[in-house]
Amino acid sequence: ALELAVESTPAGTDGQVRITLEVAQESIQRRAVLYDKDGDAHYDTISAFIKSVRGSDPDAALYWLAKMIYAGEDPKFIIRRLIILAGEDIGLADPMGLVVASSAAQAFEFIGLPEGIYPIVEATLYLATAPKSNSAGAYFKAMKKIEEEGQVSVPRHLMDGNRDAAAMGHGKDYVYPHEQEGHFTPQQYLPKRLLGTYFYRPSQEGYESQVTARLEMWREAQRKALGIERRENIPDMTEEQIQEMKRKIK
């Protein structure tokens, strides 16, 4: 409660923050009545906030944000969740989402409350109104493939050719893409037995909608150059499956 009182009370002309009995009592009441940070309301409210942003409802997002701040929630906790959401739910549909959320974190470090709420609100509104894509979850498809089939050796031409490894053929025959037309060369990057396996499927939202044609052109060129006949598009994982994979990372 004292922390909330200090954060919500502007400093005087001498730079000192003076907490009156009235302010202290109000802060205690705000913390006690609205929610306990270790209780269900804490987790339920942040859940409602994140789901509102993900669901593209800026009004609901502002409401739950205001409730958390009013109750004395740590703004840094909220910002961390926004940064996660920017990568998980906005993704490449709007790559600026992650930039805005990260900038809000940096701005809050400089400002603190009460004015520090502005960059948090800006990030909240930006993410809530941005196009959405969860295609970054393709990472967990690759992780599941490794879990199922085990790790395989790196193709020799992709190995590090520094030190004495070059004498063993490491890095030999690697083609530097920037020396090729279009800064692209259709060489092998996946292990041989996985050629034709595709984990990433771009959404058709925002910036990411521009990726599909370019990516398919590169994939088709690689299939022709390497004689790849198989094509395995790894299906999207459910939220439950992704959460299960996340638990294995910890």
Residue 98 sits at the vertex; the CA angle it makes with 93 and 100, to the nearest 5 degrees, is: 110
Residue 135 is predicted with a pLDDT of 96
Residue 248 is predicted with a pLDDT of 84
pTM for this structure?
0.81
Residue 92 is predicted with a pLDDT of 97
Residue 35 is predicted with a pLDDT of 58
Lowest-pLDDT choice from 45-54, 144-153, 178-187, 197-206? 144-153
Query: Quick check: 200 and 128 in contact, CB under 8 A?
Result: no
pLDDT digits (tens, 9 = 90+) for 135-164: 999 999 999 999 998 878 999 999 987 766
Q: How confident is the model at residue 33 (pLDDT cuts 50, 70, 90)?
A: very low
Higher pLDDT, 193 or 30: 193
pLDDT digits (tens, 9 = 90+) for 81-126: 999 999 999 999 999 999 999 999 999 999 998 899 999 999 999 9
Show contacts of 143-148: CB within 8 Å, 24+ apart.
143/245, 144/237, 144/241, 144/245, 145/194, 145/197, 145/199, 145/234, 147/248
* Domains by residue range for the chain, with CATH: 35-129 (1.20.272.10), 135-249 (1.10.3710.10)
Residue 151 is predicted with a pLDDT of 79
Percentage of residues in the chain having pLDDT higher than 70 = 82
148: how many CB neighbours lie within 10 A of its CB? 7
Residue 71 scores a pLDDT above 90 = no
Higher pLDDT, 155 or 29: 155
Higher pLDDT, 14 or 156: 156
Residue 22 scores a pLDDT above 70 = no
SS3 233: strand
